[in-house]
Structure formats: C-alpha cells, structure tokens
C-alpha cells in the first residue's frame, strides 16, 4: 500500500512551519522523529484528567493511570512479539536499557569472560560494556567492518570462543544506515552459550521486530525515535535472564519488603522500575505504536526504502561527493555522505542547509569509532521517516548545490 502523504503530514503540525524563513525539511529522524497529534493529545489528556502516581494508589485516578500504563506495556509486548508483558521494561531510552543490562548482568559473568561488540556501534553500546569490563575484569573484543561499513562476519567467527558471554550489536547502524545480519549473529553467539543484546534504536522505526523469532536475549529501543515521547525507552529481556539479574537501581516500587537487615525485590517488571516513571510518556508510547500500526509497518518500511533509493540516486548526481556504505547489501533509514571540499567540516554544510530550513545531523553521530575506521571526522546524515517526501530530498539536493557553490 502507498503512503497517504497528505493525511500523514497533517498528523505532524510541526512540519508545517518556516525555519529561517523557509518551509522546514526535517531529515534528522535518526536523532529523533516528530510526534503525531495522537501522541501529543495523549500526554495532554493524561495530565488534564488522570495525573497521579502509578501502582501506589487505592484512589481512582491512580488506578486509571496504572491501567493505562500497563495497557501501553501490553501494546509494546504485542508490537515486538514478546512472550510475556513483564518481559517489557520501561526505561528512559536505549542508553538506559543497555546500561541496565551491563550492570544487572554482573552476577552472570566472571573474570576473564569476553564481550563482543562491533566497530559500528553507537557510544551507548560501547561505553557501558567497557565499564562492565573494567569492574569485572572482562575482555572486550570488536567485530571489524569493511569499506562498505558492513560487519566482517568471518572475523566475528574468529572472535567467538567458549569464553564469550555477551554479544552486543546494533540492528541498524545510526551512523551509516547499514542493516546488520542479527539473525546470524544471534545464532552463532548462542552456539557458544553467549547472551545477545540487540540495540534496536534505529531498527524499530523502520521494520517489524519479532524478538521471539530473532531469539534475542535483550532488545532495546527508544520511544522518541518511533514517533513517541522523549524520556521513554523499552528494554525487552527474556524472563529467565531478567530474573537472574541484579536490579539496576534501588528505591520505591522495586521492592517486596525492606528492612535494615535485608531487602527482597519485587517481581518482574517492577524489580527494574525503581522510582516514579515517566507516566505520561509511557502511556503516550501506546499511541505512537498505534500510529505506526495504522499506517502499516510494511508500508512505512517500503516508503522509507523508496526514499533512501531516491536520495542515493539524487546524491550521486552531485560532483565531488562521497557516500558512505552505499554499496552495503542492506541499508535502511539514513544516508551518510560528505562533500569533497578541502578544509571544510560536515558542520559547515549543516549550517548552510539549516539556513535553508533543512535539518540534518552532522559530525560523528555518537559513533566515533566508525568515523575513525573511515578516516574522517564526521559525515552529513540525512535520515528518514514516514512523512519524508521526494520533494524533501529535492530540497536537500538544491541545498547541497548551494553549499558547494559557497564553499568551493
């Protein structure tokens, strides 16, 4: 089915404004996507009608808020096909989800054990593992990438040993838009008895995720990249593992009983949800999921792939441009490139585009090891969403032509 672009754009009033006197072209969706009216309304309705704390109150408002938040958890469960709703934990975002696992998993790892990550990771999927490795005396290994920005799987095979305890890789690279073969990565990791965390921050916006079919042990993503509120994330974890892990934070809501001698912890998912959560945001996430399901995950994915192909084609029309990972087998959601002009930084181009109302991200995209591998300091990244149109890409190309004229 094709996208009804008029209907969709009407859901996103923010897109209808002028920025620097020009109609906004928003191509920074990998950083965060815009929010449809239903999500904005859900937050407002919550605060106007049932604002109260969850899981604590006997009173009506608290019970209504609790029901809504738990319904949202259920909608996430169905969205990614988790077995149980209590395998879905609300977090602040992908970053917190990964930190939670890297901290909570301590009882399951021992000195000398090995963690495998990749050269393609966001800093959020590097630093928490480095911290764990330092605390517990673990060894961190890195799957290299080739010149297409693709993981070298034969090297992954060599890194896997009986000491490998954790493999943590992204599903889609935020810096290059490369889709990783996570199915294969998971199967191979399980063959040596390792647990696998998939950073799905850039995948959930663009494709259907089935955590049971993938057999991922942990799958993390952020609400704000799938049209939902900021400050909300999801960590899916297999029940058995979550049960065996330490709580991440101590505090209210995550306990069964507290005494000065000994504290016992609440059952899943509450063991990992200390303190008052982002209730409005957690509730509104359900509306973001409904929005995506109403449009259709397949329809969204196909539309964004068409846009990616069109952007690739049009960028190739420009002279003196380097497009990264354009020959990778599978790409999705974003395209990274640089104008080959001496002594300029990607941000110089970003600045000129911004003056024309075009929002892109420039720099290292919180993925410095990727930039180092490519021998550059940063890229210009255009990233897409359900509302991105070919006209947006045409505007980008015009903007880049102007940048070339001004900077060459």
Which residues, in sequence order, are bridge partners of residue 18? 23
Interface residues for ligand C6P in 309-368 (CB under 6 A)? 361, 365-366
DSSP 306: H
Query: Which region among 89-97, 111-119, 235-243, 308-316 touches ligand C6P (by CB under 6 A)?
Result: 89-97
Should residue 126 be labelled a site residue for ligand C6P when binding is judged by CB under 6 A? no
Residue 395, Cα to own-chain centre: how many angstroms?
27
Residue 6, Cα to own-chain centre: how many angstroms?
27
Is the backbone of residue 191 left (phi > 0), alpha (psi -120 to 50) or beta?
A: alpha
The least CB distance from residue 368 to ligand C6P, in Å, is 12
Class of residue 20 by CB neighbours under 10 A (exposed 0-12, middle 13-18, buried 19+): exposed
Measure Cα distances from 332 to 227, 326, 343 in Å.
17, 11, 30
Should residue 222 be labelled a site residue for ligand C6P when binding is judged by CB under 6 A? yes
The answer to whether 149 and 328 are in contact (CB under 8 A) is: yes
Should residue 99 be labelled a site residue for ligand C6P when binding is judged by CB under 6 A? no
* CB neighbours of residue 187 within 10 Å: 13
The least CB distance from residue 394 to ligand C6P, in Å, is 23
Should residue 282 be labelled a site residue for ligand C6P when binding is judged by CB under 6 A? no
The site string for ligand C6P over 173-212 (x = CB under 6 A, - otherwise) reads: -x------------------------x-xx----------
348: its two tokens: 């110089």
**Torsion over CA of 176, 218, 73 and 277, rounded to 10 degrees?**
-80
Should residue 119 be labelled a site residue for ligand C6P when binding is judged by CB under 6 A? no
The least CB distance from residue 2 to ligand C6P, in Å, is 28
Please name the residue that has the structure tokens 């605390």. 135
Nearer to ligand C6P, 118 or 174 (CB): 174
Should residue 104 be labelled a site residue for ligand C6P when binding is judged by CB under 6 A? no
* CB neighbours of residue 368 within 10 Å: 16
Catalytic residue, chosen from 266, 318, 359, 366, is 366
Query: Which region among 91-99, 147-155, 242-250, 297-305 touches ligand C6P (by CB under 6 A)?
Result: 91-99
Residue among 33, 94, 326, 356 that touches ligand C6P (CB under 6 A): 94
How many binding residues for ligand C6P (CB under 6 A)?
17
Nearer to ligand C6P, 50 or 88 (CB): 88
143 catalytic? Reply is no
DSSP of 232-269, one letter per residue? -EEEEE-HHHHHHSPPSS-STTSEEEE-SS-EEEPPTT
Should residue 170 be labelled a site residue for ligand C6P when binding is judged by CB under 6 A? yes
Residues acting as catalytic residues:
366
Contacting positions for ligand C6P (CB under 6 A): 30-31, 93-95, 122, 124-125, 170, 174, 199, 201-202, 222, 361, 365-366
């Amino acid at each position: 089915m094709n996208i009804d672009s008029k209907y969709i754009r009407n859901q996103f009033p923010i897109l209808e404004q002028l920025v620097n006197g020009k109609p906004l072209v928003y191509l920074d969706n990998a950083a965060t996507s815009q929010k449809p009216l239903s999500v904005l309304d859900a937050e407002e309705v919550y605060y106007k009608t049932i604002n109260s704390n969850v899981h604590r109150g006997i009173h009506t408002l608290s019970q209504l808020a609790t029901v809504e938040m738990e319904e949202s958890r259920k909608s996430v469960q169905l969205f990614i096909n988790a077995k149980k709703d209590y395998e879905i934990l609300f977090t602040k975002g992908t970053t917190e989800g990964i930190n939670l696992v890297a901290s909570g998993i301590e009882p399951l790892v021992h000195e000398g054990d090995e963690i495998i990550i990749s050269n393609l990771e966001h800093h959020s999927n590097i630093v928490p593992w480095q911290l764990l490795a330092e605390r517990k005396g673990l060894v961190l290994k890195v799957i290299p990438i080739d010149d297409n920005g693709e993981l070298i799987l034969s090297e992954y095979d060599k890194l896997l040993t009986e000491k490998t305890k954790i493999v943590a890789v992204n599903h889609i690279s935020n810096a290059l838009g490369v889709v990783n073969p996570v199915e294969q990565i998971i199967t191979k990791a399980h063959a040596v008895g390792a647990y696998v965390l998939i950073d799905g921050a850039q995948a959930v916006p663009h494709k259907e995720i089935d955590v049971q079919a993938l057999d991922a042990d942990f799958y993390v993503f952020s609400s704000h990249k799938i049209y939902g509120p900021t400050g909300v994330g999801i960590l899916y974890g297999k029940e058995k593992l979550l049960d065996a892990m330490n709580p991440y934070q101590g505090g209210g809501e995550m306990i069964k009983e507290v005494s000065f001698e000994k504290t016992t912890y609440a059952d899943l998912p509450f063991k990992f949800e200390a303190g008052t959560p982002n209730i409005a945001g957690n509730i509104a996430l359900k509306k973001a999921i409904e929005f995506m399901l109403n449009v259709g995950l397949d329809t969204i994915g196909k539309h964004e792939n068409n846009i990616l192909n069109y952007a690739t084609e049009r960028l190739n029309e420009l002279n003196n441009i380097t497009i990264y990972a354009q020959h990778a087998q599978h790409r999705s959601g974003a395209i990274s490139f640089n104008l080959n002009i001496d002594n300029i930084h990607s941000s110089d181009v970003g600045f000129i585009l911004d003056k024309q109302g075009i929002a892109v991200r420039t720099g290292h995209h919180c993925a410095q090891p990727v930039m180092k591998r490519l021998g550059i300091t940063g890229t210009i990244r255009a990233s897409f969403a359900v509302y991105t149109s070919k006209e947006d890409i045409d505007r980008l190309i015009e903007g880049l032509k102007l940048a070339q004229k001004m900077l060459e």
